Amino acid sequence: MKQSLTRGSAAVAIFLAGIWVGKISSADAAGRSRVFEIRTYTANEGKLDALHARFRNHTTRLFEKHGMTNVGYWKPLDEPLSKNTLIYLLAYPNREAAKKAWEEFRKDPVWLKAKQESEVNGALTAKVDSVYLEATDYSNLR
Alpha-carbon distance of 113 to 95, in angstroms, equals 27
Mean pLDDT value across residues 43-57 = 97
Handedness of CA 116, 52, 9, 38 (dihedral sign): negative
- For residue 22, what pLDDT is reported? 45
pTM beyond 0.75? yes
The tens digit of pLDDT for each residue in 68-96 reads 999 999 999 999 999 999 999 999 999 99
According to DSSP, residue 23 is labeled T
Is residue 41 a contact partner of residue 127, using CB atoms and an 8 Å limit?
yes
Is residue 67 a contact partner of residue 25, using CB atoms and an 8 Å limit?
no
Q: In this predicted structure, which of 4-13, 57-66, 95-104 has the lowest mean pLDDT?
A: 4-13
Torsion of CA 75, 51, 18, 93, to 10 degrees: -170
Domains present along the chain, CATH in parentheses: 2-21+33-134 (3.30.70.100)
